[in-house]
């Protein structure tokens, strides 16, 4: 069975500081990985996805993520956070045979002025 783990439930970061959100997955085959963001009162928006190729993927809003097969990780990073980045972030893995996404529990990011 596949699963997605986001070890950090909450992270507080100062505006302008760097941010890294951890995601670990367990999945037997080549994973298809996603990061979504859910801003307060908003629906989920895709930040970026990894299917194959370059293991460093760029997304929207200045985010990037690195796929590391050896560590079964797909961590999300941003060099300098803005107050508008305060949101909940979800990592997900696709079970291709069936189009189903399995989501992690989410990491809530708070941004201090």
Partner 1 sequence: GAGVSQSPSNKVTEKGKDVELRCDPISGHTALYWYRQRLGQGLEFLIYFQGNSAPDKSGLPSDRFSAERTGESVSTLTIQRTQQEDSAVYLCASSLDFSREPLHYEQYFGPGTRLTVT
Which of 37, 41, 43, 42 is CA-nearest to residue 59?
A: 37
Rounded least distance, CB 31 to partner 1, Å: 13
Point out which span in 16-24, 40-48, 58-66, 69-77 binds partner 1 (CB under 8 A).
Answer: 40-48
26 binds partner 1 (CB under 8 A): no
Rounded least distance, CB 16 to partner 1, Å: 27
Rounded least distance, CB 98 to partner 1, Å: 6
3-state class (DSSP) for residue 71: helix
Give the N- to C-terminal CA distance of the chain in Å, as an integer: 41
41's CB contacts (< 8 A; 6+ apart) are: none
Q: Could you list the residues that contact partner 1 (CB under 8 A)?
A: 32, 34, 36, 42-46, 49, 51, 90, 94, 96, 98-106
């Amino acid at each position: 069975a596949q699963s997605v783990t986001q070890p950090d439930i909450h992270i507080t970061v100062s505006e302008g500081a760097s941010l890294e959100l951890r995601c670990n997955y367990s999945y037997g085959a080549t994973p298809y990985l996603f990061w979504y963001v859910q801003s307060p009162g908003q629906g989920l928006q895709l930040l970026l996805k990894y299917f194959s190729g370059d293991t460093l993927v760029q997304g929207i809003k200045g985010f990037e993520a690195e796929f590391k097969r050896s560590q079964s990780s797909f961590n999300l990073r941003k060099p300098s956070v803005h107050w508008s980045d305060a949101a909940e972030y979800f990592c997900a893995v696709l079970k291709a045979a069936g189009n189903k996404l399995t989501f992690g529990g989410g990491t809530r990011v708070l941004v201090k002025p």
